[in-house]
Chain A
Amino acid sequence: GENVEQHPSTLSVQEGDSAVIKCTYSDSASNYFPWYKQELGKRPQLIIDIRSNVGEKKDQRIAVTLNKTAKHFSLHITETQPEDSAVYFCAASIRGNMLTFGGGTRLMVKP
């Protein structure tokens, strides 16, 4: 089955700096890669996703890149703000089916 590795597990940045979270996946059949943001005790919120027919997608301060050959994808957050502090999960699946999640990254943005 699919295996998703996520790094780093914790990330601390200064407000205004950029943050990058990286994930690798094992199943070359996976073609859908969402990113979720989860605040303590709350549901995961979809923040951006990318499908295997594109290499990059951007939504304001958030961007995701995908390298199918290397089987890795990354989340980039620019101009970080304290409200970006949360746990971020990457995931991989075939279409929108069973999601396999990475281990999560705890992002802390220091004011």
Chain B
Amino acid sequence: GAVVSQHPSWVICKSGTSVKIECRSLDFQATTMFWYRQFPKQSLMLMATSNEGSKATYEQGVEKDKFLINHASLTLSTLTVTSAHPEDSSFYICSARVLTSGADTQYFGPGTRLTVL
């Protein structure tokens, strides 16, 4: 259980285009998902918290108009990188919060490697 998928796993795009990344919880419902960004050989940095049916909460320094998050259902959150530029190239990973009896943890998707030319 607690499987999280992401699509696409790898994307290359031209500067100025928008890219949408999907995060799905496959065998459970996730009212809360998180989006992280990871640069090579660095740690994971939280970008935003995605809540089903409400607006996402962005971390300080993350542009909400550039990184659009939509959590339209209990199993899907999307991150759209708008007008992508080379500095947006990174590994984007989502996670879903799992709430079970007495346990509360996060499981990660496989990540999406974005390269902006």
Contact = CB atoms under 8 A, between A and B. Distances in A.
Q: Do A and B bind each other?
A: yes
Interface of A: 32, 34, 36, 41-46, 49, 89, 95-104
B108 interface: yes
B97 A96 contact: yes
A42 B106 contact: no
A99 B106 contact: yes
Q: For the complex of A and B, list the 8 residue pairs with the smallest distance between their C-beta atoms, beginning with the closest.
A: A96-B104, A43-B108, A95-B104, A101-B43, A43-B110, A96-B105, A101-B44, A44-B108
A59 to B, nearest CB: 14
Interface residues of B, number: 23
Interface string B6-46: 00000000000000000000000000101000000011111
Contacts of A44: 44, 93, 108
A18 to B, nearest CB: 24
B8 to A, nearest CB: 14
Interface string B53-77: 0000000000000000000000000
A4 B105 CA distance: 18
A102 B108 CA distance: 16
A34 B108 contact: no
Contacts of A41: 111, 113
B2 to A, nearest CB: 9
Contacts of B97: 96-97
